[in-house]
Structure 1
């Protein structure tokens, strides 16, 4: 077994079986992006939004903040979800393949490989947004329990054995995607959720157009995701009656 075939973060080790050693580079990529996402969330400048500017907002009080980096525009948003963090984490991780059923922004989604309980490789595509055609992503995901919550991180990877079934979709590059789910101190039954994303959409798109679309996509996803958890809570409450 090569050194790349295992990864330890927060006292939990992901170890690849022999058949999954072809995903060793993807595992290391996931570890790298996890460290970057955790450092970002722990940075007091992030908490205070120092260096970020308001990008998009809606009538529900959601605000997307953005900052420009050498890889493009990074966006972030914070919201409250009406279920506890362990439920939110499990649904976010396990619910990948059902995304298109409730998220109108997602065209398709699937799990390519799931080598360990904390690490997998997924593919998904979004629908057209404004004048930007839908993109396809292939990325490694990893999660850990951190303090009283969870951190999930993701980055694009190359999987030579994977052949896309979706012709005509431009393969975008996800430099960083991360989510932090924490217990809401004022209501332990709800989750404080922070999401950050930095993606290069590829294709021949003017930078100004990409910058307009990125924040809007995050805003739409946030509203849709919160509605999904509201529906799940209503279903749970009805079953308890």
Structure 2
């Protein structure tokens, strides 16, 4: 049987890529097909492989300085009525249990201890700290000052603020305009007035001593509109925790 050999003179080699390491293709009828000196696009050195992430295994974490290690409380997967919530609708946790604390920090000549102890149930600022995972559980390492307060119940109104934090029950938004028009939820202006429920012991001074706040429970205050962290109480009321510096005035 006659065979046919194709050479560069009988076949166009334009736009033919070279893949080094591939074996020639043999055709039973045409014999061995060889292409002489094609225009080459080299793929030498290209290596593709699946990425493998090896997570280190931690058995213990010891916070340093004024840092605290908190075991994050898991998000609720169901609503109070038992409805399964999608991931996007689950409430992002802002609380957890203190599992380890640092040695504190030095202010002037005074050594100041961490304001919380191991086992305390705490609430922290929404975007505070660095999340770590070990032993299959999510934890957060954050500064002592990022802890908003201690919460021993499931109701935010029972929060005990720390440092210069203040817990405020937000005034109810107006449902009607001055002209009597009913406002929708989207057009209701977020109120920045509320009643102080609890206050922290105050910020640390240069000598490591607490300076009491000028705000007291029961005060009606005006605060910065977008300050602090918002919470929903068991009674359906809105609460906000913020620093005392975000309170602009006491109303009477």
Report the TM-score, using the length of structure 1 for normalisation: 0.26
Higher strand share: 1
Q: Larger RCO: Structure 1 or Structure 2 (Cα < 8 Å, ≥ 6 residues apart)?
A: 1
Q: Which has more radius of gyration? A: 2
Report the TM-score, using the length of structure 2 for normalisation: 0.25
